[in-house]
Amino acid sequence: MIRANKRRIGGWLPSNPEVLRKWVANLLAKPVAEPSDYVQPIQDLQNLVASTFSLNASTQAMFTEAYIYDPNDPTGAPALTSWPQFLGVLNNIMTTAPEFIVDSHGDAQGLVGFPINAVLDWPMGTTAGYSVFSSDLFNRQLQKVLQYWGQFLTTEASRYVLAYGTPDTDPPSIAWLSPQAKQQIVAVACQPSNNPDCKNYTFEDIFQVPDPYDPVYLGFTSWDQFFVREFQPGIRPLGDTVLVSACESAPLQYNTGVKLSDQFWLKGQPYSLENMLNFDPLTSQFDGGSVYQAFLSALSYHRWHSPVDGVIKQAFVVNGAYYLENMAEGVNSPDPDPSAPNASQPFITSVATRAVIFIEANDPGIGLMAFVAVGMAEVSSSEITVNVGDTVSRGDQLGMFHFGGSTHCLVFRPGVSLSFQVPVTDQPNLDATNVAVNANLATVG
């Protein structure tokens, strides 16, 4: 049996497989509701699958395939073995918020920010899983499930994880606003900083909190409000290059000569601009252009900022797939990805739910460009906060990701010559470190 050797980037799932195994075991040990008591969107998903022959066969087959691949699961996590079992676990997740996990020594392990992804890691990489998660019919009903969970994460009931942990479980979790968790968040925020004093800052020095005098929740009214927290003024100063970083993110790759239409499902995962930009009429201008992609980590800042001075020409959200993984990274590949969809990031720019914003840059060396915010796995809400016709300056907010991890692209027309101020490569680099939002990204020429 070939064991996957890829690591989990971004901190969306614990890097230690033993910690994740125990977490999933705890999840599976919880009592589940009777199907008749499932929340309505899950009942509707259950009914859809039961009444659709192809989905009924494939949903069960993906768990069977994953179990046959390795009954002990290459991640060390106990595999779910059936579609009904998954629905019961999914129903439990609807009233939980992401936990900050530590190991038996109290050392931070990150979070299970993708709890649904955690139990679908291998089923989504099977042949049957590809069939299920590429079904538009399935995805539109799954979207309603994710939106239901997303709504819970905006309520006061979701903020329990900010103040309370589960120290007696294995693995234990700690409160997000505990000193240990805040210290780790500060450390991530200080990665791209050139300020030597950053490591001495407190969480409150770096991030705005609604009520610094609230000793329990710091005024945060929900998990989501904490997740989309803003930097304090001046923490991320605006760079002086014509193109600045749109997100707090680590560069994945930079490709030139990108085609309008390409076979994005292949092993090399080439970008396919028509698919990425949803066949918008403006897309033809980018034929042969370039794409810069970067990914966000779990503990980072999740709002998007304009990379250029310019005018918003078009802005829309594309409904796509949520757990579709490139088959070249699935269980039948020589080196399957245990942290899907991390290694499928270029692929999902063409298939995942994403926000697309076209900006006419003031600088003629850039002109029309596109910003694409791509939701990964649980991310069911990408909120655009600008409108067509708005004038934006570098560093102005464009929108944000809610309650989940993500990747993004900047797309340029052919003839735009960029000199990057940060390390970039034409091959995916999963070891890159964060570039600060608003920091210098590239010059033109």
Distance CA 336, CA 331 (A): 5
Task: Provide the β-strand partners of residue 254.
Answer: 292
Chain centroid to CA 16? 19
Are residues 189 and 198 in contact, defined by beta-carbon separation less than 8 angstroms?
Answer: yes
C-alpha to C-alpha distances, 106 to 100, 119, 335, nearest whole angstrom: 11, 24, 32
Are residues 123 and 66 in contact, defined by beta-carbon separation less than 8 angstroms?
Answer: yes
Are residues 293 and 408 in contact, defined by beta-carbon separation less than 8 angstroms?
Answer: yes
Query: Is 442 strand, coil or helix?
Result: strand
Task: Supply the DSSP string of 303-340, one letter for each residue.
Answer: EEE-SSSEEEEEEEEE--BSS---GGGSTTSSS--TTT
Mean pLDDT of 261-285: 84
Q: Is the pLDDT of residue 124 over 50?
A: yes
Are residues 210 and 369 in contact, defined by beta-carbon separation less than 8 angstroms?
Answer: no
Q: Is the pLDDT of residue 371 over 60?
A: yes
pLDDT tens digit sequence for 87-113: 999 999 999 998 888 766 655 555 555
Query: Is 293 strand, coil or helix?
Result: strand
Mean pLDDT of 52-58: 94
Q: How confident is the model at residue 267 (pLDDT cuts 50, 70, 90)?
A: low
Describe the strand order of the beta sheet including 303-305 as a list of residue ranges: 303-305, 397-401, 382-384
Q: What is the pLDDT of residue 321?
A: 84
Backbone phi, psi, residue 63, to 5°: -75, -35
Q: What is the pLDDT of residue 277?
A: 97
Q: How confident is the model at residue 7 (pLDDT cuts 50, 70, 90)?
A: very low
Q: What is the pLDDT of residue 76?
A: 57
Q: How confident is the model at residue 249 (pLDDT cuts 50, 70, 90)?
A: very high
CA dihedral angle for residue 399, residue 402, residue 408, residue 412, rounded to 10 degrees: -20
Nearest to 370 by CA among 269, 270, 289: 289
pLDDT tens digit sequence for 154-194: 999 999 999 998 888 877 888 999 998 898 899 989 988 87
- Going by their DSSP bridges, the two strands 382-384 and 108-111 should be labelled as unpaired
Mean pLDDT of 235-254: 95
Q: How confident is the model at residue 284 (pLDDT cuts 50, 70, 90)?
A: very high
The highest-confidence range among 201-210, 372-381, 405-414, by mean pLDDT, is: 201-210
Within 10 angstroms of residue 108's Cβ, the number of other Cβ atoms is 19
Q: Is the pLDDT of residue 41 over 50?
A: yes
Are residues 258 and 251 in contact, defined by beta-carbon separation less than 8 angstroms?
Answer: no
3-state secondary structure labels for all residues of 199-261: HHCCHHHHECCCCCCCCCCCCCCCHHHHHCCCECCCCCCCCCCCEECCCCEEEEEEEEEECCC
Q: Is the pLDDT of residue 64 over 70?
A: yes
Are residues 269 and 349 in contact, defined by beta-carbon separation less than 8 angstroms?
Answer: no
Q: Which stretches within 323-439 are classed as H helix?
A: 345-348
Q: What is the pLDDT of residue 1?
A: 35
Q: How confident is the model at residue 5 (pLDDT cuts 50, 70, 90)?
A: very low
Block residue for tokens 């464009």: 398
Mean pLDDT of 62-73: 77
C-alpha to C-alpha distances, 408 to 82, 209, 405, nearest whole angstrom: 34, 26, 11
Q: What is the pLDDT of residue 60?
A: 93
Distance CA 70, CA 239 (A): 49
Q: What is the pLDDT of residue 3?
A: 38
Mean pLDDT of 373-397: 89
- Mean pLDDT check: name the lowest of 59-68, 69-78, 170-179: 69-78
Q: What is the mean pLDDT of the chain?
A: 86
pTM for the full model? 0.90
Q: What is the pLDDT of residue 234?
A: 93
Mean pLDDT of 64-75: 71
Q: Is the pLDDT of residue 31 over 50?
A: yes
pLDDT tens digit sequence for 306-353: 999 999 999 999 998 888 876 656 666 666 655 555 667 778 888 888
Q: Is the pLDDT of residue 445 over 90?
A: no
